[in-house]
Structure 1
Amino acid sequence: MKTLTLGIFLAGLLAASASAAGAPHSGDRPDFSKIAPHPRLFLKKSDEEPLRRNIQANPRAKEIHNAILSKAEKAKSKPLLTRNQIGFRILHTSREMLNRMFLWGYAWRMTGDESYVSRAKREIENVATFEDWNPAHFLDTAEMSLAFAIAYDWFHDAFDSDTKKLIAGELARKAFAPFYSAKYFWFRPRQANNWNQVCSGGLLCAAISVHETDAAATEKIISLMLDNIAYGLRDCYSPSGAYTEGFAYWNYGTSYQLYFNEALVSAFGSDMGLYEKYPSLLKSAKFIIHSRGPTGRPFSFYDSGQSVSACPLLFFFAGKTGDASLVYTERDLFDKPSDGISALFTILTASSANADGAPPPKELCWFETEGEVPLFMARTGWGKNDLYFAAKGGHASTNHGHMDASSFVFDALGERWVFDLGGQNYNSLEKLGMNIWGNSSLKNSDRWKVWRYTNHMHNMLTVNGALISPTADIRLSECSANPKDMRVAMDTTALYAPDLKKSVRRIALAGGKLRVSDEIENGAKASKIRWTMCTHKNARVADANTIEITSPSGKTLLVKLVSPRGFKAEVLSADSGNSWDAKNPDYSRATFSGEFGPNEKGEIVVDLIPQN
């Protein structure tokens, strides 16, 4: 690891460059003389027999265990990986390598079948021929680092010395050295995001895994990552646990946060005080369970997707907090058990968090008013046919942000009726030369040329056909968790100024329906205003004030304009017509539009009424 000598010197410079003022509290430092023997990442040798007993005693744990073994066997016949770069990423390759090392490592440790050892060795020798792990997009490097870390640690007693030396050398050259060669934006950032957690987690686990190969170099990496992760823990979670980048990125960033914390626990017997210093991490499980509607679909704001899938990390949170209700929503999602590392945490904690016997959460409403992304989520119960809505404030000029402040989603009758389509495949836009990551505070940013990212495709008002302000920061007020009248308000004036003098949105769930009202005071000129919601494609104008929507399963929702008179009901395409935008063939836009005269005051009130 001679390449790291200069790196250790540079690390001192990086540390000195971080201002003490405003820096978050980093974790305590481990006693490196007491590092655990191999295997030391996540699953120690002493954990194996209790794990086997848990698998036999717990049907869910056994189901996941068998799924992992099945996937591990199938993965052996897959072709060797290639450094196939798509756009500026090889993340898919790194992720597949990580998955394979976990599957084969787990299968080897649980069965003793040496075919997994030889297959893992072949893959390591193959990936070692890659010129690099694409450090320009350091997520790729971080995930590959974790793959090599698990391989070194879990196969430590099975691999020959040359293979272990190869792995340690690859980590030194292709992970640690590139980290020191440039000051990456995710390292001690002014505002951290999932990159902080993923990159810190990958490098920390790698350094722990190969610690004995170069103690000085790896200890420096571990210390730097302990400093760095504090920024992610400070910025990625609100005081109540909301994840700034949304549901999907919680799964990504928090996975690596748990890998980070639990690698410390398994290697040193302590999380270095991180859970205690940053309680919002464990609180974030509440954000996740309330983000899922009765349909299982998440509140997919920002670049999240709409897919319904299990969330195995919740088993870890349930075991850690003693709150079994956190896995209540997991009961019906085990038809697709996870096979990634997070599945290991499910198996390890399944005995203390049995989804089949879990009680429903006590709270029907959860909201966050102080964080960067204010959120309100409410439901009438935890059954599949209960009513649910979620709404958000915040601003668009944040990482993965959309022009969606005041937008909402709605579930009823076991269906989602009001959709947030989430993000669009990044490479589909990047390959056209669109810079969707820069200048998001400006309306002329490439990001705001993407249909799904704008107010035109969110469930909110559009005034005079214009984009909303990307920097307007919308806060929540009038939050009520009363089960008979759950409601929230948002002053949205800043989104539409100067066209509107005042705009306040209120959303209330009561009496078996959802009411959305927008109090308007127009500006000095006449304004054309459109109320929009994205819904199923099968929608029709039933009368002048009503749009009838039919779900694919044949259920019906009525969208009724209560006021004002004179607005026109229309069902519009969900597509933009732009060549670069994703098509949305399964959706339409239910709209009401009309004109407010100069200085006119009024209220747009729309009821969403499920037809039982």
Structure 2
Amino acid sequence: MPPVFHARMRKPLAALFSFLLCSLFFPAVATRAAADDPLLTLRKEHPRLLFTARDWAVFDRRARNRANDPQFDALLAQLEKNARAILGAPALERKLTGRRLLGVSREALRRVLTLAVAHRSTQNDAFLQRAEQEMLAAASFDDWNPSHFLDVAEMTAALALGYDWLHEKLSPETRAIVRRAIVEKGLREGIDSKLRRNSWHRQENNWNQVCLGGLSLGALAVAEDEPALARDMLKAARAGIVNGLRPYAPDGVYPEGPGYWSYGTAYQVLLVAALESALGTDWDLCASPGFLASANTQLHLTGPTGKQFNFSDCGLQSFFDPILYWFSGKLNNPVLAAPPNLKSRERFLPLIALWWPDAGLAPPNTEPGLPLAWKGEGKNPVAVFRSSWTDPNALFLACKAGAANASHGHMDAGSFILEADGVRWAIDLGMQNYESLESKGMRIFGRTQDAQRWTVFRMNNFSHNTLTIDNQPHRVGGRSEFLRFWRDGIIMASEDKSSGVEIDLSPVFAGQVGSVRREISFQPKSRTVFIKDSIEGAAPGAEIRWAMVTKAQIQLSQDNSGGHALLTQNGKQLRAWAGNVDGEKREFEIIPAGASVKNNYDAPNPGTRILIVRAKASAGGSAVIAVELRAGETPR
């Protein structure tokens, strides 16, 4: 018998039905409405960029009790010292370095953030007045150099954050001037994605993140006064930022290297944090594959010396990064918040004061809970091996595959760095200052095989710890890949275990050989790294060059088993052995770390040299080079 519904039951059931219908239907409607009008949920009051009034109140309480946390107290003391130094510095002027205003924009951002935080911690109005002066000076520039749009983006960020954080204390006249500059010199210059100079809307690199991040800060800052423009800018940002997020996939390895990870990700974080604080949403950007994971990738890329694997256009830098404090809070991972470098002129240093962990910084040598051997895929895959996360003398090796035509890429497929006993033995020379090259007429951002970029020593394969065949550059379009990755494999007749990787380098030697494989075995107990390169299908007699760039002093010797090299640096030793293969002698040689033909644009590399092994392809086109590197004791 079917159930009977009495009249008095109908109203509750109808209400329940309506509730269920609304819960299913209206979130979708609200999502579509927010996409159509990103300002629908705009927080009306200032401050709303990165930090709300509630966040600043937390900072105020922490600042009043700063003596309870000596590290936080030291940070504030340094920021206040930096702010006092700014008071005595001349105001910024529109002076380009080469084709860039970027240095001025970044300094404006550093000054505004430093002065704003120092004003809040001390209530010293001199800092407020100087922040206002800096913003008015930048607002008075003829333009912010839109031909190199990063300059515009960072200046827009500087004025947007200053305008928002100090909003109630700025005079109406100052607010109007700064707001007009954000609109005319920032937003209107960048909103049209069809302009050639604004192609960054579609690019999959740091430009996309920096430009859309900086302009979005500007849009959110002035939204109540310029709603139509702000709405259009945010729609453009939402459509375009997916491009800048793609390089993180799948594992968080940023193909431009750790340096550009810091740059692009800083503005990605600023965008996400501002969306959350101003609109109550992150547009699901944090769910983008590899984005949040990229923070742990920075840990993996950092050796026991505290320095990172500086592949691509990256200088040698430490793990400390203010942006990682945001990730530390987001992921509840205190290890990401490294003790700040208080001597740094990093423009985002003041943000740490507001992202400071509630429990303070993690104790030194805290285990991060990550594996000792790790591989990350992507356009520039990397593999990393270490004997310990907490021992400063641990054995550590990082290597990479990938392609040279990645954004800011080098011809470094197969290259590696090596650390042991607190020394980086195998190094990457890193990037060369762009202006030092562009001032000589060099065009350094081409990615074709004949681009001038590949004549720069630090960017081509001759300066990296990889193979070179017949003195030829790598093929820029060839993408090497990891064929195998293993951890804790058993070594026959040994108590040691091996982790490692096999790299297919064949694509970067296309047209020269049939097959090139590099196998790297990492053996932590014996503190040994074994590198075996196998070449097939080369022209008979072709020369294969194995290379390792180092700052160590090197002493060479030879015996019936092969070539030996004793490397000494900082009172420590590393021994290298190149074994004879099929009766063919292997021996080491040392060459200068510089181009074989002198030019007027390559930077010098003082105190560095390259350890070389050469081999000739057999009549059948094959060759093998096997090198053992052992820390602190004699190899077999």
Q: TM-score, normalised by structure 1?
A: 0.90
Partner residue of 1:554 out of 560, 571, 577: 571
The question of whether the paired residues in 2 share the 8 Å contact of 1:103 and 1:339 is answered with no
SS of the equivalent of 2:316 reads coil
CA distance in 2, matches of 1:529, 1:377: 26
* 1:478 equivalent in structure 2: 484
Structure 1 residue 574 and structure 2 residue 593: aligned?
yes
- Equivalent position amino acid for 2:386 in 1: R
Alpha-carbon deviation of 1:46? 1.8
CA distance in 2, matches of 1:378, 1:464: 31
In structure 2, do the counterparts of structure 1 residues 89 and 337 end up closer, same or farther at CA, with 3 Å as the change threshold?
closer
Partner residue of 1:533 out of 516, 525, 548: 548
- Equivalent position amino acid for 1:389 in 2: L
- Equivalent position amino acid for 2:90 in 1: P
* Structure whose alpha-carbon radius of gyration is higher: 2
- Equivalent position amino acid for 1:559 in 2: A
SS of the equivalent of 2:474 reads coil
Structure 1 residue 501 and structure 2 residue 508: aligned?
no
Alpha-carbon deviation of 1:226? 1.7
SS of the equivalent of 1:142 reads helix
CA distance in 1, matches of 2:360, 2:291: 18
CA distance in 1, matches of 2:353, 2:407: 30
* 1:356 equivalent in structure 2: 363
- Equivalent position amino acid for 2:579 in 1: V
Identical positions, percent: 32
Quick check: 238-247 or 358-367, which moved more?
358-367
CA distance in 2, matches of 1:183, 1:466: 35
Q: How far does the alpha carbon of each residue in 1:530-577 deviate from its partner, in whole angstroms, 9 at most, with x for none?
A: 1101001522323360122111x1211111102333233111100223
CA distance in 1, matches of 2:443, 2:35: 36
The question of whether the paired residues in 1 share the 8 Å contact of 2:503 and 2:519 is answered with yes
Structure 1 residue 467 and structure 2 residue 485: aligned?
no
Partner residue of 1:427 out of 422, 428, 435: 435
How many residue pairs match? The answer is 577
Structure 1 residue 101 and structure 2 residue 116: aligned?
no
In structure 2, do the counterparts of structure 1 residues 112 and 326 end up closer, same or farther at CA, with 3 Å as the change threshold?
closer
Alpha-carbon deviation of 1:216? 1.3
* 2:61 equivalent in structure 1: 53
CA distance in 2, matches of 1:203, 1:337: 26
Alpha-carbon deviation of 1:99? 0.6
CA distance in 1, matches of 2:533, 2:429: 23
- Equivalent position amino acid for 1:433 in 2: G
Q: How far does the alpha carbon of each residue in 1:200-242 deviate from its partner, in whole angstroms, 9 at most, with x for none?
A: 1100001111112211111211221122112111x22121111
* 2:209 equivalent in structure 1: 197
Q: How far does the alpha carbon of each residue in 1:135-163 deviate from its partner, in whole angstroms, 9 at most, with x for none?
A: 01000000000011012111211111111
In structure 2, do the counterparts of structure 1 residues 323 and 353 end up closer, same or farther at CA, with 3 Å as the change threshold?
farther
Where do 1:37-116 residues align within 5 Å? 37-55=45-63, 56=66, 57-116=68-127
The question of whether the paired residues in 2 share the 8 Å contact of 1:319 and 1:353 is answered with no
- Equivalent position amino acid for 1:408 in 2: F
* 1:147 equivalent in structure 2: 158
Partner residue of 1:314 out of 320, 324, 332: 324
The question of whether the paired residues in 1 share the 8 Å contact of 2:191 and 2:236 is answered with no
Structure 1 residue 599 and structure 2 residue 620: aligned?
yes
CA distance in 2, matches of 1:100, 1:162: 21
Alpha-carbon deviation of 1:339? 5.5
Alpha-carbon deviation of 1:30? 3.6
In structure 2, do the counterparts of structure 1 residues 586 and 346 end up closer, same or farther at CA, with 3 Å as the change threshold?
farther
Alpha-carbon deviation of 1:271? 1.7
Q: How far does the alpha carbon of each residue in 1:78-135 deviate from its partner, in whole angstroms, 9 at most, with x for none?
A: 1111111111101000000001110111122222211112212222232233211000
Quick check: 455-464 or 35-44, which moved more?
35-44
CA distance in 1, matches of 2:336, 2:131: 35
Quick check: 587-596 or 301-310, which moved more?
301-310
The question of whether the paired residues in 1 share the 8 Å contact of 2:302 and 2:319 is answered with no
Q: How far does the alpha carbon of each residue in 1:472-530 deviate from its partner, in whole angstroms, 9 at most, with x for none?
A: 11010210122821100011122223332221100111131111110122424321111
- Equivalent position amino acid for 1:516 in 2: I
The question of whether the paired residues in 2 share the 8 Å contact of 1:522 and 1:598 is answered with no
Structure 1 residue 377 and structure 2 residue 384: aligned?
yes
CA distance in 1, matches of 2:557, 2:76: 52
* 1:225 equivalent in structure 2: 237
- Equivalent position amino acid for 2:578 in 1: L
CA distance in 1, matches of 2:278, 2:80: 25
In structure 2, do the counterparts of structure 1 residues 82 and 575 end up closer, same or farther at CA, with 3 Å as the change threshold?
same
Partner residue of 2:299 out of 258, 281, 289: 289
Structure 1 residue 341 and structure 2 residue 360: aligned?
no
Unaligned runs of 5+ in 1: 1-25
Where do 1:206-221 residues align within 5 Å? 206-221=218-233
In structure 2, do the counterparts of structure 1 residues 111 and 264 end up closer, same or farther at CA, with 3 Å as the change threshold?
same
The question of whether the paired residues in 2 share the 8 Å contact of 1:540 and 1:571 is answered with no
CA distance in 1, matches of 2:227, 2:157: 18
SS of the equivalent of 1:490 reads strand
* 1:441 equivalent in structure 2: 448
Alpha-carbon deviation of 1:432? 1.6
- Equivalent position amino acid for 2:588 in 1: A
CA distance in 1, matches of 2:350, 2:94: 27
Alpha-carbon deviation of 1:180? 3.9
SS of the equivalent of 2:588 reads strand
* 1:4 equivalent in structure 2: none
Q: TM-score, normalised by structure 2?
A: 0.87
Q: How far does the alpha carbon of each residue in 1:582-602 deviate from its partner, in whole angstroms, 9 at most, with x for none?
A: 100121000111322332434
CA distance in 2, matches of 1:186, 1:283: 28
CA distance in 1, matches of 2:267, 2:157: 10
Partner residue of 2:132 out of 113, 121, 125: 121
Structure 1 residue 132 and structure 2 residue 143: aligned?
yes
Alpha-carbon deviation of 1:29? 5.7
In structure 2, do the counterparts of structure 1 residues 52 and 594 end up closer, same or farther at CA, with 3 Å as the change threshold?
same
In structure 2, do the counterparts of structure 1 residues 219 and 535 end up closer, same or farther at CA, with 3 Å as the change threshold?
same
The question of whether the paired residues in 2 share the 8 Å contact of 1:368 and 1:376 is answered with yes
The question of whether the paired residues in 1 share the 8 Å contact of 2:78 and 2:342 is answered with no
Alpha-carbon deviation of 1:353? 6.3
The question of whether the paired residues in 2 share the 8 Å contact of 1:29 and 1:272 is answered with no
Unaligned runs of 5+ in 2: 1-33, 490-496
Quick check: 476-485 or 148-157, which moved more?
476-485
The question of whether the paired residues in 1 share the 8 Å contact of 2:488 and 2:498 is answered with yes
SS of the equivalent of 2:577 reads strand
The question of whether the paired residues in 2 share the 8 Å contact of 1:295 and 1:414 is answered with yes
In structure 2, do the counterparts of structure 1 residues 335 and 363 end up closer, same or farther at CA, with 3 Å as the change threshold?
farther
The question of whether the paired residues in 2 share the 8 Å contact of 1:550 and 1:557 is answered with yes
* 1:21 equivalent in structure 2: none
- TM-align CA RMSD: 2.1
In structure 2, do the counterparts of structure 1 residues 140 and 207 end up closer, same or farther at CA, with 3 Å as the change threshold?
same
- Equivalent position amino acid for 2:213 in 1: G
CA distance in 1, matches of 2:36, 2:252: 23
In structure 2, do the counterparts of structure 1 residues 409 and 535 end up closer, same or farther at CA, with 3 Å as the change threshold?
same
- In the TM superposition, structure 1's runs of 4+ consecutive aligned residues that sit over 6 Å from their partners are none
In structure 2, do the counterparts of structure 1 residues 492 and 593 end up closer, same or farther at CA, with 3 Å as the change threshold?
same
SS of the equivalent of 1:66 reads helix
* 1:15 equivalent in structure 2: none
Alpha-carbon deviation of 1:361? 2.8
Structure 1 residue 584 and structure 2 residue 605: aligned?
yes
CA distance in 2, matches of 1:27, 1:547: 63
CA distance in 1, matches of 2:95, 2:223: 30
Q: How far does the alpha carbon of each residue in 1:294-334 deviate from its partner, in whole angstroms, 9 at most, with x for none?
A: 1111110000111335223222212211233434xx25x64
